[in-house]
Structure formats: structure tokens, C-alpha cells
Amino acid sequence: MIDNADLQVINLLKDWLSAGDNAWLCTVVKTWGSSPRPVGSVFACNQHGHTAGSLSGGCVEDDLIEKLIQGKVAAGKPETMIYGATDEDVEKFNLPCGGQLHIVIEPVTDPAAGEKLGLMAERLSARSCVKRTLNLNTGDVVVEPVERFSHLTFSGPFAKDANDEDRLLVQTFGPRFQIFAIGAGQVSMYLAQMALMLDYHVVVCDPRPEVIDQWPVEDVQLVNEMPDDAVRKYADDPFSAVVALTHDPRIDDMGLMEALKTDAFFIGAMGSTRTSAKRRERLKLLDLTDDEISRLHAPVGLSIGSKTPAEIAIAILAELTQVRSTAASEATKARLIEA
């Protein structure tokens, strides 16, 4: 299994600390306009210039590494920086027009940090969430397990003032989005394997014990329950995508009937165009409104000519990525309008 990007950063920080190297952890806490990487992106660097993660994928990292190694920033205590605040910055660092990155930079040198990094690595390896709280005024860090992902928060003024209250960076690491797959068949297996690489939490629900008992993919939450009950219990939130994959309408429709009433950001069902049309007719008989049924992505997956189970899984994940990207873009536009 390929580690997610955050786990790679945490593990390297832990290794550098064990080797006695000075290291820094950098976090994007705010973006403005067009930004290369989203809020919560992390980047680590050690005294030798070795790195992990990304803030921009460009010249921001090169400039920051130079400043860190030369002791110009975060020399012993956390600091904040803004890239893209001036026209000169935008031109120098190749940031998109109007883009800004607000970054928290913290030194990771305390031997006690190794235990906290170990807890984070343990939680992330188990595909569980962990919350990390940094007090920028004192440099103190608290790490604690949590059940679900929460958005990053930064409280207090961004710029340091001697009389300011505590400035706290609170960040949850771990799976942010969840795929709730109805059916433990072959497409679900490929979908689960690929989704784990993309840092989804994966739940596979199948009411047939003889099917779910043969499930081969590790690090997946298995639910042997009726899909309507399970959807209400596990997937009624804006971070969940529900995908029906059994080809058995007695199972799929039961889950979809509930999923279309939830806050899930995506609901899809596998099948041909003809099968999908018949599915929508059946859903109308289950007291679902036209608006609710219109939320259904069926046939699920981008039209890329997929035929095999693995190709179908790729098409589904591609559509999920497209939907998430569109939603994020619309949310950014809304924030700019409000500002």
C-alpha cells in the first residue's frame, strides 16, 4: 500500500528527529485567490535540504528551504510567512495571478516530539484521524486521537504581537473523504484499493455474509448490514460518497433510497444507461422526489470507455475527483464574493 502524503511527511520527520537532524514542519493555513495547494497542505525539510510534501510544487519551497537552512526563519520558535503578498512575490515564485499562501513554520527539534509523531504515524497507518494543536506563542504541541476529520483552524492574529492572545493552529490528519460502497464484488475491490491510495476512508457494505467473508482488501471497514440502515449510520455527512455496485436492485435500490436523502456529496450507481433509466423509474415509486433522484450519478463514472472492473473503478474515482474539484472551486468563488 502506498502511504498518503501526510504519513510520508510524518514518518520522515520522525526519522530525521531520531537521527539528530534539525527539521521544520510547514503548513498552509490560508490561501487567497488562485493558490497551488489547498489549506492543510504540509511540507517538511531538514538541515541537509531533504524534503517531503509540498506547499506549491514550485519556487516557494526552494526559497523557504534556503531561508530555513540559513536560520533566517523559525530559528528556535514557530513563525508565520506570506508568499504572494506583493507583485514581486507573484512574479518571483510563479504564483497564479493574485494567489497567496499563508504558511506556519515550526522547528521540530524537541526529542519529546518523536513520541507525538509516532502516535500520529500510528493513527494514520491505521487510517484513523488524529488532531494536532500547535501554540505558536509557546511552541507547545498537543496530539490526540479523534473520530472524524475536521477542517484546519487558525485562531488569533496571523502576525505576532507581544501582547496578543495565544495563536493556535489546530489540524486534523487522516482520511477526509469516505467512500461507502454497496456490494463486496470485484469492482468494489479495485475501487477500494485505488481509493485507499487517494486517502479515502473506505466502507464496504454487503448484507450477504458469504460474500463479505471473502473480502481480500485490507484497511477497509466491512459492514454486514442492510444497506439502508448502514447508509444512515455511516454515510450521512458531506464527506461521504455512496456508490451502489452489486448489480442487484434489491440491494442497491435499498441503499440508494436512503442515500439520496442524506448529506452525502455524491451518490452513484453502476449500470448501463438503460439499467439506470429503469432504476430511476423504480426510485420514483419509493416516494423520492425528482430533486432527490436528480442527485443520482448513473451510470456512475466518467465516460472513458471503461470495460473491466479496474477500468470502471478508475472511471468512478475520476468522477469523484471532478465533483470534489468543482465543489471546491465553487466554494472558493463564494468566499471571494463574500470578501
48-65 pLDDT, tens digit per residue, is 999 999 887 666 888 899
Closest C-alpha among 112, 165, 163, 164 to residue 142: 112
Q: Which value, to the nearest 10 degrees, does the dihedral of the CA atoms of residues 147, 153, 155, 161 take?
A: 120
Omega before 299 cis (within 30°)? yes
The pLDDT mean for the chain works out to 88
Q: How far is CA 242 from CA 154, 224, 230, in A?
A: 31, 16, 11
Taking each helix axis from N to C end, the angle separating 273-284 and 249-259, rounded to the nearest 10 degrees, works out to: 60
Closest C-alpha among 210, 211, 247, 250 to residue 227: 250
Cα distance between residue 157 and residue 333, in whole Å:
24
The pLDDT value recorded for residue 332 is 46
11-26 pLDDT, tens digit per residue, is 999 999 999 999 999 9
The pLDDT value recorded for residue 132 is 97
Q: How many separate helices (H) and strands (E) can be counted in the chain?
A: 11, 15
- Whether 79 contacts 139, CB under 8 Å: no
Cα distance between residue 188 and residue 195, in whole Å:
10
206-244 pLDDT, tens digit per residue, is 999 999 999 999 888 899 999 999 999 989 888 899 999
- Which residues share a beta bridge with 131? 144, 172
Q: How far is CA 161 from CA 21, 126, 286, 335, in A?
A: 30, 40, 60, 27
Please name the fold of domain 177-325.
Answer: Rossmann fold (3.40.50)
Given a cut of 50, the residues of the chain with pLDDT beneath it are: 1, 97, 332, 334-336, 339
Closest C-alpha among 12, 38, 36, 41 to residue 24: 12
Cα distance between residue 261 and residue 258, in whole Å:
5
The pLDDT value recorded for residue 214 is 93
Closest C-alpha among 200, 145, 141, 148 to residue 320: 200
The pLDDT value recorded for residue 96 is 53
Domain ranges (residues) in the chain? 5-173, 177-325
Cα distance between residue 327 and residue 317, in whole Å:
15
Closest C-alpha among 220, 286, 240 to residue 148: 240
